Amino acid sequence: MTKDIYKDLTQLGGANTVANTPDEAILERVPNPHKGSDYAVRFTAPEFTSICPLTGQPDFAHLVLDYVPDEWLVESKSLKLFLTSFRNHGDFHEACTVSIAKRIAEITKPKWLRLGGYWYPRGGIPIDIFYQEGELTKSVWIPEQGVANYRGRG
């Protein structure tokens, strides 16, 4: 592969500018150097934040993204900046989690994708959101997401 295939990337190697909203964020992709081989990619974001649309209070989540790429990979710096664009975005847990998964799937068109959103308690109740699309082949090993269930104090 040559550097020419990366010439259209706008964020890799550039300034760290965070979009004001997720809709304005640029999510980029790069060619899969092992297309034709089935393997899993995992990203974790243990300090994801957004804003409650009603109270304006911050919400926190541990996100775990697993996917089996086809022709494209999500470019990791653009993913980080995309996720960061949610920090001042007001939406419910379900809307944030599912929209993140769908946006990644839209640009990468993976063979299989799963996003677990493990949200920290609000009002004493943790909310966990799970999204999946595509078909997972038996040849790919997908480990458990490994996020401990919330057990309160003690």
Residues with catalytic function: 52, 59
Domain locations along the chain: 28-134
C-alpha 130/C-alpha 98 separation (Å) is 8
Model pTM?
0.89
Residue 152: per-residue pLDDT: 60
Q: Contact 137/68 with Cβ under 8 angstroms?
A: yes
DSSP β-bridge partners for residue 114: 66, 132
Identify which of 146, 136, 6 has the alpha carbon closest to the alpha carbon of residue 69. 136
For residue 96, give both structure tokens: 């944030």
For residue 109 the two structure tokens come to 């068109």
pLDDT along the chain (154 residues), means of 10: 62 75 95 96 97 94 97 97 96 97 98 97 89 95 87 54
Q: Which CATH number fits domain 28-134: 3.90.1170.50, 3.30.1130.10, 3.40.50.720, 1.10.3720.10?
A: 3.30.1130.10
